Amino acid sequence: MNKHSVRIKICGIGDLETALGAVEAGADALGFVFAPSRRMLSPDKAREIIKRLPPFISRVGVFVNLPADQVEQIAGYTGLDTVQLHGDESPEYCKAINGYKVIKSFSVSGEQDMERAMMYEVDGYLLDTPARGLRGGTGIAFDWKLAACFSAGPLVLAGGLCPENVRQAINLVRPYAVDVSSGVETEGQKDINKIKHFVRRVKGD
């Protein structure tokens, strides 16, 4: 993967200022969380942000174990183009999502998790760090060597990425995209300077 072609997703967007700042910094995709967490947004708030975004920016909704029809309803209402599933969604569930790109998240602790991911036919495979009681946004890295030989489809690398380590991760894994949330925050809030630094590191600047 050419270093300049790695896509960048900033997840956990909470307000318009952060969204536009991330886009200006060079993000390719923004993530909006519709699952219980400190980053959770209401569909109304997400809709207000998304309708102000410029074209060609991917709008990704993060969901955990919601019925597929509810996911599609929220996606349609808010203006998403991609749904990212962080729960126990089955391969059949993922196939049932209609009209949207589907990214499935997998917590990686060993080769068995990589084998489980191979059972899915989705548009993207997000590999993240397992953490008790948490689904994504842990700020903890997993053993990237496990991801380096993943070949099922477009790989989105997450889990503990930050400006200081993202270039190392890209060099080792060669992912399609990188996904960051807590790694560009200061005291629990998105930090535009950290987002800019992260983007520069991904692009090799």
Q: Over the stretch 13-30, which tens digit does the pLDDT of each residue have?
A: 999 999 999 999 999 999
pLDDT band, residue 181 (cuts 50/70/90): very high
Burial of 93-130, coded b for 16+ CB within 10 Å and e otherwise, reads bbeebeebbbbbbbbbeeeeebeebeebebebbbbbbb
pLDDT at 113: 87
Does residue 179 register a pLDDT over 60?
A: yes
Does the annotation count 128 as an active-site position?
Answer: yes
Q: Over the stretch 39-88, which tens digit does the pLDDT of each residue have?
A: 999 999 999 999 999 999 999 999 999 999 999 999 999 999 999 999 99
Does residue 121 register a pLDDT over 80?
A: yes
d(CA 59, CA 62): 10
Phi, psi of 192 (to 5 degrees): -60, -35
CATH number at residue 43: 3.20.20.70
pLDDT band, residue 131 (cuts 50/70/90): low
Altogether, the residues listed in the chain come to a count of 205
178-182: average pLDDT? 96
d(CA 94, CA 87): 11
pLDDT band, residue 108 (cuts 50/70/90): confident
Catalytic residue among 69, 81, 94, 128: 128
pLDDT at 145: 84
Count structural domains, the chain: 1
What DSSP designation does 40 have? B
What average pLDDT does the structure give for the chain? 92
- Residue 180's domain comprises 3-203
Amino acid letter at 176?
Y
Side-chain half-sphere CA neighbours of 33 within 13 A: 19
Does the annotation count 162 as an active-site position?
Answer: no
pLDDT at 139: 57
Amino acid letter at 66?
L
